[in-house]
Amino acid sequence: MFHHPGNVFVVSAPSGAGKSTLVHRLVASVPNLIFSISFTTRKPRPGEVDGRDYFFVDDDRFDAMVREDGFVEWVEVYGQRYGTGRTWLEGQLASGVDILLDIETTGALNLRHAIPDAHMIFILPPSAAALEQRLRGRGKDSDAQVALRLKHARHEMALYHAYDYLVINDDLEAAYRHFESIVYATRSQRERMAPVAQRILQGF
């Protein structure tokens, strides 16, 4: 069980739902909210920097961290492994900042076991047809790949009930306002604000 002053926000969505756009805007706009940096066994892509985009490690290092319970959660995706480092996450949360984790559903559910008070957010497309249109509009996937992504999207969306908040990304601005409001509302919860209220009360 984690004991931490900072909030943990977990965001999942099927491919094409617009999650990355919303996540990057949120982190850029909301103070004291940082993006979680995952460990991965895949090689860096052009422009990616170790310690900024990911912590790039080899299989031996990743295996050692698994044995030492060094991950809050980890998954294998397309032959590469990704994980949230326990020591890194604990250190960031202890400083009081809020952490945003962008992880797929399996990792998100695993993290919920480790951090039961994490705030789980799922980004929904407005419809299956709209998601298919977005995927085809990107022009990056073949028909077979689009079909595979849609099948995976259905599997992911069937897990929506495991999340605390659902945000439909139909209109980007409206979706962002809903997304941002979740963070601010969470920060205003009585349990989080009680120490501040007590300090103010003592001044009377």
- Does residue 103 lie within any of the structural domains? yes
Residue with tokens 């139909």: 170
Distance CA 10, CA 121 (A): 6
Predicted pLDDT at 105: 93
Mean pLDDT in residue range 58-67 = 96
Q: Is the pLDDT of residue 79 over 90?
A: no
Q: Is the pLDDT of residue 55 over 90?
A: yes
Q: How many helices (H) and strands (E) does the chain have?
A: 8, 9
In terms of pLDDT, which residue wins out, 203 or 96?
Answer: 203
Q: Count how many domains the chain has.
A: 1
Q: Which of 170, 159, 105, 164 is nearest to 131 (CA)?
A: 170
- Does residue 88 lie within any of the structural domains? no
Q: Is the pLDDT of residue 60 over 90?
A: yes
Note down the domain range covering 125: 8-36+97-202
- Does residue 73 lie within any of the structural domains? no
For 82-128, what is each residue's pLDDT tens digit? 999 999 998 998 888 999 999 989 889 989 988 999 999 999 999 99
CATH code of 176's domain: 3.40.50.300
Residue with tokens 């595979």: 148
Q: Is the pLDDT of residue 2 over 60?
A: no
Predicted pLDDT at 109: 92
pTM: 0.88
- Does residue 77 lie within any of the structural domains? no
Say if residues 93 and 5 touch (Cβ distance below 8 Å): yes
Q: How many residues does the chain have?
A: 204
Q: Is the pLDDT of residue 1 over 70?
A: no
- Does residue 1 lie within any of the structural domains? no
Distance CA 84, CA 9 (A): 13
HSE-CB for 120 with a 13 A CA cutoff:
20
